[in-house]
Structure 1
């Protein structure tokens, strides 16, 4: 089956149009010439019985609009010119052009609606991404400061809490109250800083404490726990986890912290990790 190009299709349609118009105009002129020359008549034949027998009467005259021959010629002209009737112009605007303009407008509106829908989906995706990033940043950048006394008390109580937790005793978590930061005069020990950062990443990965980015180092050493174990551990050692998080955020944001407090919080984090790794599963 031969496939016509758009130009070939237009050319073929033009040829058919010329043929139709030629037949229509030729037929109409022939009909008019015959009509004016009285060569086209409509005759009516009537038969009847007279005194001398059967009588046949023929009556001829010019055609009328209701005659079958006139109606047939009119239908032929309509059929020939029907494909081009849509191009008949009214005040310079044809029906075909109006239809084409309406179809083009509908197509443009549909394409515009599709573009708007795509833009809306992209905008919603961007808003969701920004919200998630903002929540992660808020959780990470929160500077939660506790006093040196609170750190000492938590460090002192932690071994007893671990023993009680191991025996299955019910514990009530202590509440850590934010306070003014303890200003340190010494430079933070780089080793302690690296230890608190690393320990926090492992705790964070193991206990699902806050959103993390891809490729975080703590994921390599995370401790696999069930959801019930995570919930119980987090509720029991909430005070110590908050202290470790606060110290991690403080050193990450260069908040002055005494090395003594930093050492105690590193010890707390390592005790939590040791107990977390030794928890029977």
Structure 2
């Protein structure tokens, strides 16, 4: 099963003042990184949440926002004055030096200037449960997006296979043309009367063999088949897909450097364009 790395999930739990909302968002990332905002929670709960999300989501940049449904007048709302003043000075400097209108309101949303410590009792169990529900909703979205990514990528691979088939059909013809071209060039240089015909043909055959793309096509086909097989695995394959694409692109580049006619060159360019599109898609696969 293919999962996208991006996703979004929300959930609520509890009743009245003990109600808690959790908003979970995941973006592309090589490793797992979690940032928790909003409601102030203790270290042990924070660690438990992080361990759970790491085990469940595997990797990506994950943002969790916790919020109680209602902040009472007894809640302890505190301002991190030192951090606020520091950033306010930075905003002033940027506005003066670069003549840019930097919005402090936006920066307040992404930094821990305000912490809310509710007086009412919201147990760690309730908070953890709502995070788990949000995570399930996020995974559901990851699965839906992953299905779309898989369909798009495999369609592009199918198109690449069809182009390779065209190139395969021209190999024998290309080799013959290449042999004749080398023969003509060499015969124009050497004295045919004093040059051994057998030796000449041997040298031409060697040159033609070095330009033959059969091996590259065989390896390229093998890499493409392996790439397609990864979509049938029941584990995260994003990194394997990315690595295999590098191998595919290496063979395509070699194929392009050996291309002996305009048609093959155009086909190679077409393949490379499709690979670049696939690379962008693979970056979003878990």
How high is the TM-score relative to the length of structure 1? 0.21
How high is the TM-score relative to the length of structure 2? 0.21
Q: Using CA pairs below 8 Å that are at least 6 residues apart, which structure has the higher relative contact order? A: 2
Larger strand proportion of the pair: 2
Which one has a bigger Cα radius of gyration?
A: 1
